[in-house]
Amino acid sequence: MKDCLLTLLTLFFVTLQPASAQSRQQEALQLIEKSADLLYSNPKQASYYAAKAVELFPNEEANDLKAKAMMAYSQSEKLLGNFDFSINILFDGMKYVTPTNKTLQAEMHALMGMLYCSLTDYNKAIELNEKATSIFKASGDSAALAICYNDRGIIHCYLSEFTTAEQFFKHALRINRAQKNLKKVAANLNNLCLYEGNTEEKLGYIKESIVLNKNLKMNWSIGENYNNMGKQYFYAKQYKNALDALQKAYQEASTIGAKELICDNYEYSSWVYAALGDYQNAYKCLQQLYTLSKDIQNGSKLRNIEQDISYKKNSSTTTTRRSTRTDLPRGIIQA
C-alpha cells in the first residue's frame, strides 16, 4: 500500500512540474506582451509588467524567455530616461540568451547600441549597431534590418551627420512602408524631422506621424512628435507655432514621466524664447535642462556603468546570484 502511495505521489509531482513550467512560460509571455503593448503609451506600467515577468525565472540558467523579459524591462526604463539602470538590466539579460539564438542576441546588441548612444558613447553605439545589422543581414530579416537602419540614423543625428542620417531613415522607411508596419513608419517619419531641411516637407512628415501615433495610442511617440514639430517651426521662424507645439510635447512627456523628452523640450523651448528676445524664460529653460540632463547624461555615470559591467564580467560565476535591482519593479504602478 505504501509503495502504491509513493508511486502515485511520484507520478503526481512528475506531471505537475512540466505543467507548472508551462504555466509560468505562458504567464511570462502574457506579461511581456502587455509590456510591449504599453511601451509607448505608459512606459511605467510597461516596466512593471516586464519586471513581473523577470521575477518568474529566479534560477541562474540560460533562458531565452527571461532574456526577452529583461530586454522588455530595459526598453521601458530607457524610455523613462533611466539609462544607467536600463543598460545594466540589458547586460544581465544577455547572459540568459541561449548560444544558438542569434536573433535575440542581435536584438539585444541593437538596443544596447541605442543606450550607449543616449549616454553619448557613439563609437560603441555604432559598433553594437553594426553587430546587430550583420546578423540580420545574414538571416534576411528585413524588418529587423529596418530597426537597425533607423537606430543608425539616430546615432548619426547625434553626430550632426544629417545627410548620412537621412539615408538610413529613408532606407528604413521604404522597408516599413512596404511591410505596412505603421508603428515603425511613424517612427521613421518622426526621425526625418530631427534636423533642419525643407520645412513644408518635414511638417508633412511629422503631421503624418502624429496621425499614426494617435491612432496607435503611442503617447511617448506623440510627445516626441510635438517636440520635433516645435523644432521645425523654430527653424521656419514661426515662433508662436513652435511654442504651441512644445507645450503639447511637454504635457505628453510629463504625463508619462519621459525625462529624455522633457530635456529635449527644455532645450528647444530655450531656442525659441531666445529668438523672441525673452531671455529670462530662455535662461529658465536652460537651468531646468541642466538640472535634469545632469541626472541622466553624464560622463561619470557612464564610467560607473562600464566599471560595473567590467566587474560583472570578471566576477566568478556562482550558483545563486544576488541581484542588484533587476528583479524589482521600479516606480509607482499606474493604471
Task: Check which CATH number belongs to the domain holding 286 and give it.
Answer: 1.25.40.10
pLDDT digits (tens, 9 = 90+) for 244-266: 999 999 999 999 999 999 999 99
In a domain, 251, yes or no: yes
Considering the domain boundaries, does residue 231 fall inside one?
yes
Report the alpha-carbon distance of residue 110 to residue 133 in Å, rounded: 8
Structural domain of 255: 205-296
Evaluate whether residue 211 is within a structural domain: yes
Quote the cell numbers at residue 156: 548619426
Q: Is residue 224, in this structure, part of any structural domain at all? A: yes
Q: Tell me, yes or no, whether 146 lies in a domain.
A: no
Q: Is residue 96 part of a domain?
A: no
Is residue 268 in a domain? yes
The SS3 assignment for 119 reads: coil
Nearest to 105 by CA among 125, 83, 128: 128
Compute how many other C-beta atoms are within 10 angstroms of the C-beta atom of residue 9. Answer: 10
The rounded distance, in Å, linking the Cα atoms of 111 and 97 is 15
The alpha carbons of the chain give a radius of gyration, in whole angstroms, of 22
C-alpha cell at 180: 505596412
What is the three-class DSSP state of 42? coil
Q: How many domains does the chain have?
A: 1
Residue where the block lists cell 543581414: 137
Q: Is 290 part of any domain?
A: yes
pLDDT string in tens for the chain (335-residue length)? 545 544 444 444 444 445 488 898 999 999 999 999 999 999 999 999 999 999 999 887 889 999 999 999 999 999 998 888 999 999 999 999 999 999 999 999 999 999 999 889 999 999 999 999 999 999 999 999 999 999 999 999 999 999 999 999 999 999 999 999 999 999 999 999 999 999 999 999 999 999 999 999 999 999 999 999 999 999 999 999 999 999 999 999 999 999 999 999 999 999 999 999 999 999 999 999 999 988 776 544 555 555 565 555 555 343 333 333 333 333 332 33
Q: What is the residue type of 227?
A: N
Residue 201 grid coordinates: 516637407
Contact between 70 and 56 (Cβ < 8 Å): no
Q: Structure pTM?
A: 0.80
SS3 332: coil
CB neighbour list of residue 111: distance below 8 Å, 6 or more residues apart: 71, 74, 75, 78, 90
Please tell me the predicted confidence (pLDDT) of residue 294.
80
Query: DSSP secondary-structure letter at 159?
Result: T
C-alpha angle with apex 27: 24 to 28, nearest 5 degrees? 85
The 10 Å CB-count burial string (b at 16+, else e) for 13-37 is: eeeeeeeeeeeeeeebeebbebbbe
Closest CA to 148 of 165, 168, 120: 168
pLDDT at 304: 58
